[in-house]
Chains A and B, each alone.
Chain A
Amino acid sequence: MSGNAIEVVGLTKHYGSFHALNGLDLTVEAGGVTGFLGPNGAGKTTTIRILLGLLHADGGTAQVLGGNPWTDAVELHKRLVYVPGDVALWPNLTGGEIIDVLGRLSGGLEKSRKTAMLERFQLDPRKKAKTYSKGNRQKVALVAALASRAELLILDEPTSGLDPIMEAEFQSCIREIKGEGRAVLLSSHIFSEVEKLADSVTIIRDGRSVESGTLEQLRHLTRTHVRAGFATNSDALAQVNGVYDYYDDKGEVTFSVDHDQLPNVLAAVAALSPTALVVNPPSLEEIFLSHYEDTMSPAQAAAVRGEMK
C-alpha cells in the first residue's frame, strides 16, 4: 500500500486551558512496528483516540490509512483493529460472544483463526466476562484483534496484566503480523517488549514528540555503558576523553562512553589489564529516561541510574 499507515503532523488538542497535545508528529509505516513511548499523561491515549475518530483534534493533520480519522471512521475501521489499555466488557456476555460481536462489526472473523488465537492465549471463551481477571479481559480484546486480518493494528498497552508466557506469545504474533506486511502502532511501558518488536520509536512528552527514529539511530545519541574489574588502580580512566560518570566501587568500575570515543577508551581499558569487562549498548530505558532527567529530582535520577548498573 502506498503511503504510510499513519501520518500525523503537528497535532494539537486542548481541554480548556490544558493542552493534552502540543504539536505531535507520528509516522507508522506499513510492514513495520512503531513503538510509541511516553510517561503517563503525556498524550498517548489522546493521540490514539483521535486516530480512532473518538476525539476531535484542534489543529494539525492526521491521516489513517490515507483517510480522515473523524469523517471516514466507519470505512477506516473496517481496515484497522484496536486493543484498548483498560478493557471493559459487558458483564453478562461470555468472552467468545464478545469476540464474535466485535468481529461481526468488522466484517466477520475467520473461525479457524479465532480458535487458534483462543488456543494460543489459553482463554476460555465460555466464561462470562464478569468472572474474568484483568489479564483475561485483556486477552478477550487481544484475541478479537489478532484473529483479524486488519492492515493496521493500534495497540495501547496490550499486554498489561499478562504473564510472561502470554507476553512471549504476543510477541511472536506481532512478528508474524510484521512478516505479513501489516502495520502496528504499539504503545507500551514495557521497554523490553518495544525493543524486541519495534522498528522505529517515537517518544512523546507533554503532548509533543521529543524523539523519533529507529532504535539504531536513537542508540547513537546516547552512550555505551561499561563495567570493568581492575586489579590495579584505574583512576586514570576518569580523565580519558569521552568517559563520563566514572564510579569506582572497590575495584568494580562503571562509566559511560561516547560512541565516537569508544576505540580510544577501550584501548585505555586494555592497557590497564582488566580482569572483567561488560559492555552494554544503551537500552531503550536509558534513551527514554535521558529525556526526563531534567524533570526528575536528583534523588530520583540517582536511584534510576543505580538500577541500571
Chain B
Amino acid sequence: MTTTSPSSVVATPAAVAGSPRSPLAHLGTMVAFTLRYNRIRLIVWLLLTVGMVAFIGSYYKGLDPQALQELIIAGRVPSMQSLLGWITAAAPGSAPLGAAVWIKSWMFVSLMLGIGMVFLVTHNLRADEDTGRTELFRSRPLGLHSSLASTLIMTVGLCLIAAIGIGAVGVAQQYGATLGSTSGGDPDPLGSWVFGASIGAVGLIGIGVGVLTNELMSTSGGANGLGAAILGLFYIVRMGTDIQNGDLTWISPIGWAEKMDPWSHNLMWPLAAIIALTAVLIGVGWMIEARRDYGGSLFAARPGHASARRWMTSVTGLAVRLQRTAWIGWAVGIAVFALMLGSITPMMADMFKSADIGGVDASSMLAVIGFLLSMISLGVCSFAVYSTSTMALDDAHGLLEHQLSGAVSRVGWALKRLAVSFVGTLILLIILCKVYALSYGAGMNDFGDFWTITALAFAFVPSMLVLMGVVVLGFGWWPRQAVAIGWALFGALWFIMILGQVLKLPEDVLNAMPFFSAATTLANGPDWATLIVTAIVGLAMIVIGLIGFRRRNVPA
C-alpha cells in the first residue's frame, strides 16, 4: 500500500550519472583542514629533508679538502654506488663538497621523501575512507574531488618547499665550490638548485604512486604496501647499472632524478619527465575517483573463509595469520634485493680500490659485505619493530582487552606474540644472508664463504632484541607512546648508520651500537663481548617491559 503519486517535477533517472557539479566545492575549507590536520607531519618532513642535508653539509664543510676527497673516494666504491647512486660531480676537480653531500644524503633523503609521500597521501585519503570519516565530510556540500585536490596541494607544496629549502642550503653552504677555493665562492649555484629539485622530484613520484595505489586498494595498509613496493622496485631496478654509471638507470623514475646530475650536467629536463609521469598517475587516479562508489576501489576486498582453520585459533597462529601478508611482502622484497646485491658484488671485486671504512682494512671483500649486510639488516629489522608494535596497536584499538578476556595469561600472550616477531624477523635475516651468499657465490664461482655469510644472520639477533626491547618497554610502561618510541629508536639508528662519522661519535661508541657491532664480524670474527652485552640489554628491556605490562591497566 504505497502512498503518494510521483510529484509534478519530472523525476531524473538515478542511473544516468552525469558528472557531479562543483567537484571542487569548498576546496579552500578542505585545504585549511588538511594543513591543520597534518601540521606536525609537515614540519617533521621539512626537518628530515632540509634539516638533514644542512646538517651533513655543515659537517663536511668543516673538513679539510683531503679528508673530503677520501670520503668521496669511499663513496664511489661500486658497492656504495649500487646502494647510493652515481654522481658525475664526484669526479676529481668538480664540486667535492656537493658531491660528498650528494653521496651521503641523496638516495636516503629522496627515498625517504618518496615513501613518506605515499604514506602521507594514504593518511589523508584511503585511511579516512576506510574508517568511514570521509562519509561525514561527503554528506556535507563538499566537492567529489576536493579531498584529493587538497591533499595534492599540500604534498606537492611540501615537496616544492623541501626542494627550494635544500637548494637554498646548498647555495648558502656553497656546495658548488671547487677544490681548494672555499673562499672563492660558489661557481655553480645552479647545481644546488638542481640538487634540491632532484630530491623534490622523487617526492613527486611518491605522490603520483600514492594517489594511484589509493584508488586501487581498498585499505590503507594495502595502499601503503603497494606504494612502498613500487618505489622499492624503482630503487632495485637501478641498482645494478649504477655501479658503472650505466644507461639502464634510465629505466627507473628514481634513476631519472638521479641523472639530473647536479654540479656537472645540471639537467632539468628529467624533472619535466617526472612531473609528466606524476601528472599521468594522478590523472588516472582522478578518473577512477570520478567513477567509483564511495568506499570502492579497483581491487575490492574479497570474501574469505567462513570458519578459521585450526592453526589460526591460537595466540601464535592468529598473530601469524594477521602479519602474514606484510611478512610475505617483506620476504619477497628482501630476497629480490639480496639476489641483486649478491650478483653485482663480484663486479665490485674487480673494481675494488682500497679505502678506510669503519676502521677495517677494506681490501677484504668480507669486510665490505659485512658492512653492507649490516646496513641492510637494520632495514630488515624494521619488520621486528612493526611486528612487536602490533601488540601496542591491539591495545589501542581495544583488541587486547578482548583477547585477554579469554583464558590466556598476560605474560603468556605477550611472550607468544614476541616469539612470532622474533622468529619472523630471524627468518627474514636468514633469507637476506642466504640468498645474498648464494647469489654472490654463484657470481664468484666460489661458495667458500657461503656458510660464513649465512651465519652472519645470527650476529644481528642481539641488535634485533634491542629494537624489540624498546617497543616492549614502551608497551609495558608508556603504552600510548610505545609505537612512536620504537620507530624513533629505529630512526635514530638509521640516522647514525647513514651519517656515520658526521655525528662525531667516538669510534668505540659507534662500533658498540647495535648493527655496527655485527659489521666487522665477517672480517674479524664475532665480537662476542659486544654481541652478548647487546643481547643482554635487549632481553633486559623485554623483561622490564613485561613486568610493566603485567601490573598496568588494560587499556592504559
Chain A interface residues (CB < 8 Å from chain B): 2-4, 7, 9, 11-12, 25, 27, 29, 49-50, 52-63, 66-75, 77-78, 80-82, 84, 86-90, 92-93, 101-102, 104-107, 141, 154, 200, 209, 211-214, 217, 221
Tell which of A3, A29, A60, A86 touches B13, judged by Cβ atoms closer than 8 Å: A60
One digit per residue, 1 when the CB lies within 8 angstroms of any chain A CB and 0 when it does not, for chain B 137-151 equals 111111110000000
Across the interface, which residues of B come within 8 angstroms of A87, CB to CB?
132, 136
One digit per residue, 1 when the CB lies within 8 angstroms of any chain A CB and 0 when it does not, for chain B 1-14 equals 11110111101111
Closest 8 pairs between A and B when the two form their complex, measured CB to CB: A54-B294, A82-B139, A57-B14, A88-B132, A105-B140, A3-B7, A61-B11, A77-B141
Contact B12 A68 (CB under 8 A): yes
Contact A74 B8 (CB under 8 A): no
Q: Can you list 22 residue pairs at the A/B interface with Cβ under 8 Å? A: A3-B8, A4-B4, A7-B6, A9-B6, A11-B14, A27-B2, A49-B135, A52-B139, A54-B135, A54-B294, A63-B9, A69-B14, A73-B20, A73-B21, A73-B138, A74-B20, A75-B21, A84-B135, A84-B139, A86-B132, A105-B29, A154-B139
Contact A84 B20 (CB under 8 A): no
- Give A90 to B37 CA distance when docked, in angstroms: 9
Contact B142 A105 (CB under 8 A): yes
Contact B13 A71 (CB under 8 A): no
| B260 to A: closest C-beta gap in Å | 38
Given A4-B7, A27-B4, is A50 in contact with B140 using a C-beta cutoff of 8 Å? no
Given A55-B294, A66-B9, is A107 in contact with B141 using a C-beta cutoff of 8 Å? yes
Chain B interface residues (CB < 8 Å from chain A): 1-4, 6-9, 11-15, 17-22, 25-26, 29, 33, 37, 128, 131-133, 135-144, 293-295
- Give A29 to B3 CA distance when docked, in angstroms: 11
Given A7-B7, A55-B293, A101-B33, is A50 in contact with B136 using a C-beta cutoff of 8 Å? no
| A39 to B: closest C-beta gap in Å | 20
Across the interface, which residues of B come within 8 angstroms of A221, CB to CB?
1
Contact B143 A74 (CB under 8 A): yes
Tell which of A50, A60, A74, A84 touches B142, judged by Cβ atoms closer than 8 Å: A74
Across the interface, which residues of B come within 8 angstroms of A92, CB to CB?
37
Contact B18 A71 (CB under 8 A): yes
Contact B20 A88 (CB under 8 A): no
Across the interface, which residues of A come within 8 angstroms of B135, CB to CB?
49, 54, 84, 88
Across the interface, which residues of B come within 8 angstroms of A105, CB to CB?
26, 29, 137, 140-142
Which residue on chain B has the smallest CB distance to residue A154? B139
| B19 to A: closest C-beta gap in Å | 7
- Give A2 to B6 CA distance when docked, in angstroms: 12
Contact A90 B133 (CB under 8 A): yes
Across the interface, which residues of B come within 8 angstroms of A217, CB to CB?
1
Which residue on chain A has the smallest CB distance to residue B130? A88
| B128 to A: closest C-beta gap in Å | 8
Given A27-B4, A54-B293, A209-B2, is A77 in contact with B139 using a C-beta cutoff of 8 Å? yes
Across the interface, which residues of B come within 8 angstroms of A102, CB to CB?
136-137, 140
Among the interface residues A9, A55, A72, A74, which one has the most CB atoms of the partner chain B within 10 A? A74
- Give A74 to B144 CA distance when docked, in angstroms: 8
Across the interface, which residues of A come within 8 angstroms of B294, CB to CB?
49, 54-55
- Give A106 to B132 CA distance when docked, in angstroms: 19
Given A63-B12, A86-B132, is A56 in contact with B2 using a C-beta cutoff of 8 Å? no
Across the interface, which residues of A come within 8 angstroms of B136, CB to CB?
82, 84, 87-89, 102, 141
| B501 to A: closest C-beta gap in Å | 39
Across the interface, which residues of A come within 8 angstroms of B4, CB to CB?
4, 27, 29
Across the interface, which residues of B come within 8 angstroms of A49, CB to CB?
135, 294
Which residue on chain B has the smallest CB distance to residue A220? B1
Contact A212 B2 (CB under 8 A): yes
New A-B pairs, 17, CB < 8 Å, besides A56-B15, A74-B22: A4-B4, A12-B15, A52-B138, A60-B13, A66-B9, A68-B18, A70-B14, A70-B20, A72-B20, A73-B20, A74-B20, A77-B140, A77-B142, A105-B142, A213-B2, A213-B3, A221-B1
Given A75-B21, A105-B26, A105-B29, is A60 in contact with B14 using a C-beta cutoff of 8 Å? yes
Given A70-B14, A101-B33, A105-B29, is A75 in contact with B6 using a C-beta cutoff of 8 Å? no
